[in-house]
Amino acid sequence: MGKPKVVLGVSGGIAAYKACELLRRLTESGHEVRVVPTAAALKFVGAPTWAALSGHPVSDEVWSDVYDVPHVRIGQSADLVVVAPATADLLAKAAHGLADDLLTNTLLTARCPVLFAPAMHTEMWEHPATQENVATLRRRGALVIEPAVGRLTGVDTGKGRLPDPGEIFEVCRRVVARGVDEPDLAGRHVVISAGGTREPLDPVRFLGNRSSGKQGYALARTAAARGARVTLLAANAELPDPAGVDVIRVGTAVQLREAVLKAAPEADALVMAAAVADFRPATYAGGKIKKQDGREPEPVALVRNPDILAEISAERARPGQVVVGFAAETDDVLTNGRAKLARKGCDLLVVNEVGERKTFGSEENEALVLGADGSETPVPYGPKEALADTVWDLVVARFG
């Protein structure tokens, strides 16, 4: 099998320079990339840069190398077309099927997955014209990832930033790997908790756990790559925001509960991948707890935290909502897992066997996914994204 063929469309926004990094990541990871900029994009980054980084000739119009019929061939032979940045103008043209340059021709001839990473000012993104164009493209099966929130050109801040190129690359990689052209989570809103809660004792100390957040972030990334609207409730995870994902940061179990309950009414699926502390210190010392000469320390009294998973499973915020829990077990995985699934009342429970070097902080994972319907899906040792995709397959099957 040859290298996967990717068309990188670049339209005329200041974020065009970030597409150079995306291009580099794609080529270095074994993709063959043809860059197709618009004329406006070439005002920001010139053709020699794209040609040198991709190793292919670069043109924005249909009149060069006509014997090769590039306006048809490039799109036809692609395994993925990604447009980053996608301006409001480009989205409008794509939504209406205009074909006045090489990129818009390519979009009409592509039969592979098409991914748009929009970048523009907040007002342009929020304009009903743009929103309707985005909805049209999504309805037709294109993957349009939500812009990030942050600093825009000039002094403005808001929604409209191009997500980190490394994270756009991750979405591209997922889409090429899966090879599906119909995002099966399109139109669905999924809420995922990730990381580990920290329960403060005093201003400088907390009770925490070793969850890195990687499994929850992998769930968010794969859901976004499958077309979902994703809300990620991140508890103390120090990982980059996945592209197209709305990240809300929380600290404690109580804060996570509030965030989950707030997001739940709009969620088609809730996945509790966070390691939630079962207990918190009964009191919080407003000042740092000091050691006292000659005296033993006071014991730390703990109280129970609310069980968020049990609560959202017992009272579904929406009919048909799918709830997924995670369980970390050190032994007797199947028996403990089945008992926990029944106790929590969720639809699926992902059971991990954990130990000193297993799961926490690692890139790989092995699990058994138990269904309330009695099903058992073993997931062999592999990347956390593979487990995430299995979870979404099982969730999609339960949407009916």
Positions marked catalytic: 209
Residue in 94, 144, 176, 272 binding ligand CTP, rule: CB under 6 A:
272
Residue in 261, 328, 372, 396 binding ligand CTP, rule: CB under 6 A:
328
CA atoms within 13 A on the CB side of 177: 16
Note whether 309 binds ligand CTP by CB under 6 A: yes
What is the closest distance, in whole angstroms, from the C-beta atom of residue 325 to ligand CTP in the complex? 4
- Alpha-carbon distance of 49 to 91, in angstroms, equals 24
99 vs 207, beta carbon nearer ligand CTP: 207
Residue in 327, 370, 379, 388 binding ligand CTP, rule: CB under 6 A:
327
Residue in 4, 244, 325, 337 binding ligand CTP, rule: CB under 6 A:
325
What residues pair up with 287 in beta bridges, in sequence order? Answer: none
CB 149 within 8 A of CB 161: yes
Strand 376-383 versus strand 364-371 pairing type: antiparallel
Residue 148: which region, alpha, beta or left (left: phi > 0; alpha: psi -120 to 50)?
beta
Note whether 307 binds ligand CTP by CB under 6 A: yes
Which residues inside 214-253 make contact with ligand CTP, applying CB under 6 A? 253
Note whether 114 binds ligand CTP by CB under 6 A: no
What is the closest distance, in whole angstroms, from the C-beta atom of residue 274 to ligand CTP in the complex? 5
109 vs 209, beta carbon nearer ligand CTP: 209
Continuous segment of H or E residues that includes residue 36 = strand 32-37
- Alpha-carbon distance of 223 to 125, in angstroms, equals 22
Note whether 274 binds ligand CTP by CB under 6 A: yes
Give the number of other CB atoms < 10 A from CB of residue 58. Answer: 21
Structure tokens at 262: 């707030």
Window of 42-50, 66-74, 96-104, 300-308 that interacts with ligand CTP by CB under 6 A: 300-308
- Alpha-carbon distance of 256 to 395, in angstroms, equals 22
- Alpha-carbon distance of 290 to 300, in angstroms, equals 14
What is the closest distance, in whole angstroms, from the C-beta atom of residue 328 to ligand CTP in the complex? 5
What is the closest distance, in whole angstroms, from the C-beta atom of residue 221 to ligand CTP in the complex? 19
Note whether 360 binds ligand CTP by CB under 6 A: no
Residue in 36, 144, 259, 276 binding ligand CTP, rule: CB under 6 A:
276
User: What's the burial of 361, exposed, middle or buried (CB within 10 Å: 0-12/13-18/19+)?
Assistant: exposed
62 vs 271, beta carbon nearer ligand CTP: 271
* Binding-site ranges for ligand CTP (CB under 6 A): 253, 272, 274, 276, 278, 305, 307-309, 325-328, 340
